[in-house]
Structure formats: C-alpha cells, structure tokens
Amino acid sequence: MTDWVPSPGRSQFPALYKDRDTTLAAVNHIITTFFPTIKQEAHTVVAFSELDDDGVTVLNALRREPRATLDMLLAVSGLSKEDITHDLNIASIYTIEDTSSIHTDDRATAFAPYITDRLTTDLTKQTVLSETAAKFIRDQRRHYRGKFEEETLDFLADAGLPLRPDTEVAGQPDIAIPGDGNMAIVGEIKTGNKQDWGTRVRELRSQFEQHSKTHPEAKLILVCEFDEPVGDDRITDIKDEFKHRLGDLLDGFYTTDDFDRLRDECTMWAPQHQETISTYTTNKS
C-alpha cells in the first residue's frame, strides 16, 4: 500500500519508516471504515465535504485509531496543533488519544465538530496518505533529531570504520576516523529543514575552516538530513549551494540518499586502518 509513498532514507532508518507504514495502514483503515468515499475514474476520493454529522464520524475514527486519526486530520486540514489548542483552550491535542471514552471526553467532543467544519476540500485517498506520511516523517524527525547522528555513526561502524568519540578528538567533530598517525576523516552530521540550510552556510563554513586548521591532512565531510521530504530538484539546489559556498573546504557532502557513497568513500579514504583505536592518540590543541 505504501510502495508509492516517497521513502528517502528507508534503508538507513527502517524503524522510522516501519512506524510510518503502520500509521498509514491505520489511516487507510479508518478512511475505508468511517469516512465517505467516492470513485472518480481510477481514484478513490475521500469526500470530506459530505461530513455533516456534527463530528460523529471523527469521534468514531478517534475511538478506533486515535493517533492515526489525529495525524491524518492535522495533515489534511493544514491546521497546526497550536491553532487548535488555542481555539479550543486545551493543553494538547494529542492528549485526546489517552482518553478511555472518546464519546464523552470534553476535549474530543469539542475537537470533532471543530475539525469537521474545517474539512471542506475533498482529496484523493492517495493525497491523504501522502500528506499524512509527510507530516509523520516531519514530526518524527524533529523528535529523533538526536538519533540521526547515532544512526549515521552506527552505519559507519557497521561498515568497519574505526570511529573515535568526539570528546577525544580536537575540535570535537561528529565524525572522526583515524588514519596513519593523523585523522583521516573529520566530519559533521546536521539535521534541518529545507528552508534553513542557506542560513547555516556561514556557521558551517566557520566550523569547517577550524577543522581544516586543526586536522590539515583529513578529508572533511558533511552529512545532512532533512526534517521533511525534499524533492530531487531542491536537493540538487542545496548541494549546488554547499559546493559553491563550501566547495574549497569539503571533500564530501551527503544526504540520507547517499549513504552507500558515504560508506564507500570513507572506506577508500581510510583503507583498513593502519592503526587501531586502542593505540591511536590525538594531540589536542
């Protein structure tokens, strides 16, 4: 069911995408079970505009799949959690999923008609699933930002590269791979959204200029993750911008779709590790 949904980074982050697919399966179930649909040629259209039951459909869906229903409704309505909590004067929209009786819960019974009145546009089921998928990845990536660095380092370690803890290396880079008496590879791992990368170039340039001075013989690399799905054209633009602004400093720039190249190039630059981690020492500045 989810084969057509964009899945950048699935091979690197299988647990995240497994959870996303579980959410999409639940959304597909509640659409099929509770929401009005119509057939238009080859497409199934979710007829949100036909909801005129003062929120009963939403309440029934919340009772069956509370989290998935909330994710879907927020995704297709375009409303933020902050908008809803402000308008309804509740602490958190996602506390609704913790209630034991949806149909009598004050938060749920206020939310259901509120959101129903704002679901005025019919959407294909594919669009609903795609929008929900994008929201899920965006939200979970925010939650798991700290995990991206861990997952990247685990990926490199699994490839047999001898990583040093950042606290043991001058400049404390995220990625530190020793070579023959010096650092062979030094790098940073960054997460951000597609709008903010341009504003971070100056910060990153300063950081890599310092790495270049501290580790003059090292290959310098940058690994980036996006908080949300980004089209190929936008990724190309971002890569071109980084090459233009940092090209004289960076030896490698990678996104989550480039992990195979990241592994191969790091292995090439640090070919079977002339020194072991236990014997390698770093002169701290």
Q: Kind and range of the H or E element at 123?
A: strand 123-124
pLDDT value, residue 156? 92
139/149 same-domain check = no
Annotate 24-33 with b (16+ C-beta within 10 A) or e (fewer): bebbbebbee
Question: Is 2 part of any domain?
Answer: no
Residue 258 has pLDDT above 70, yes or no: yes
20/138 same-domain check = yes
pLDDT value, residue 148? 80
Question: Is 102 part of any domain?
Answer: yes
Residue 188 CA from chain centroid, whole number:
18
pLDDT value, residue 273? 46
Contact 219, 251 (CB under 8 A): yes
Question: Is 277 part of any domain?
Answer: no
**Residue 271: which pLDDT band, with cuts at 50, 70 and 90?**
low
115/167 same-domain check = no
Residue 171 has pLDDT above 50, yes or no: yes
163/264 same-domain check = yes
211/99 same-domain check = no
- The domain containing residue 170 runs over which residues? 145-269
pTM metric for this prediction: 0.55
pLDDT value, residue 58? 96
Question: Is 26 part of any domain?
Answer: yes
120/228 same-domain check = no
Residue 272 has pLDDT above 60, yes or no: no
Please state, for a pLDDT cut of 70, what percent of the chain lies above it: 82
56/108 same-domain check = yes
132/152 same-domain check = no
Burial class (CB in 10 A: 0-12, 13-18, 19+), 133: buried
pLDDT value, residue 199? 65
What 8-state DSSP symbol labels residue 251? Answer: S
178/96 same-domain check = no
Question: Is 260 part of any domain?
Answer: yes
Question: Is 6 part of any domain?
Answer: no
151/125 same-domain check = no
Residue 15 has pLDDT above 80, yes or no: no
Question: Is 8 part of any domain?
Answer: no
151/139 same-domain check = no
Question: What CATH number did the domain enclosing 212 receive?
Answer: 3.40.50
CA distance 17 to 35: 25
Question: Is 274 part of any domain?
Answer: no
Residue 221 has pLDDT above 70, yes or no: yes
Domain total in the chain: 2
**What's the whole-number mean pLDDT along residues 4-27?**
76
Reported as a single tens digit per residue, the pLDDT across 87-126 is 999 888 888 887 778 888 899 999 999 999 999 999 999 9
pLDDT value, residue 66? 93
